[in-house]
Amino acid sequence: MSRSERLLHLLQVLRRYRQPVSGRRLAEETGVSLRTLYRDIASLQAQGAHIEGEPGLGYILKPGFMLPPMMFSQEEIEALVLGSRWVAKRADTHLAAAAGNALAKIAAVLPADLRDELDASTLLVGPAPPVTDRIDVSLLRKAIRHERKLDLSYIDTDGGETRRTVWPFALGFFENVRVLVAWCELRQGFRHFRTDRIRQADISETRYGRRRQVLLREWRETQNIVPPSGRRVGSA
């Protein structure tokens, strides 16, 4: 384990504790000697980590410390690269571009050796089947972020067109389709709407009646979902 990975591990262990924990306990959990632990704590404190305590009294990490990007482990870098590559192939154009921009920002502040790991990542994402949407999916994401009602023109499985006013709160990305999850005012219940069947979507100025986090929690409860999987909801 490299020194940067060791420091990251120590921070993650400290985050689990709400009360001061002894240096000996931390040394056991991180697999280092007590002397090395004290040096590592001093290094983290020098980098801005709000670790309070001293030998004999224990240590605690105060809230608010932001982990610097240079502290990413090699596996975390691989996860970031793989995730950004997946988004670039599976998401809408705007989100795909944002994934590339985010990865570039991370690369700009990484030390040279970790930046090389990022550039040389061999985790690849295969080609994705085309998803043809009639609308700009970024509009749906905007409605979710701002908790605004959406007025939809939707094509059902029989080819008929219906008008729906919905409260959008989640967007699912699958191999061949994207799905908007929303509370439907017409059906008075949670429904899934395939984005390739949405003919038109207009964002209302009206906020919907509950927070999206509440809607997401209620939807999971109705489906007996322990995130992120569960039963399907009713059809649109």
Question: Of 63, 9, 66, 68, which Cα lies nearest the Cα of 36?
Answer: 9
Report d(CA 82, CA 78) in Å as an integer: 6
pLDDT confidence of residue 229: 42
What's the pLDDT at 67? 55
Query: What residues contact residue 26 under an 8 Å CB cut-off, 6+ apart?
Result: 10, 13, 14, 37, 59
Complete edge-to-edge strand list for the sheet that includes strand 148-155: 189-194, 178-184, 161-173, 148-155, 198-207
The per-residue pLDDT for 156 is 87
Q: Give the model's pLDDT for residue 120.
A: 81
**Topology agreement, domain 3-67 and domain 137-222:** no
- Would you state the CATH architecture of domain 3-67? Orthogonal Bundle (1.10)
List of the chain residues with pLDDT < 70: 1, 64-71, 225-236
- DSSP state letter for 208: P
pLDDT of residue 172: 92
Closest by CA position to 200, among listed 134, 132, 110, 142: 134
What pLDDT digit, counting tens, does each position of 66-113 carry? 555 456 777 888 888 999 989 988 888 899 899 988 888 778 777 777
Specify the pLDDT at position 66: 57
| CA-based radius of gyration for the chain | 23
CATH class of 137-222: mainly beta
Rounded to the nearest 10 degrees, the angle between the axes of helix 112-119 and helix 74-90 is 40
What pLDDT shows up at residue 217? 92
Domain ranges of the chain: 3-67, 70-119, 137-222
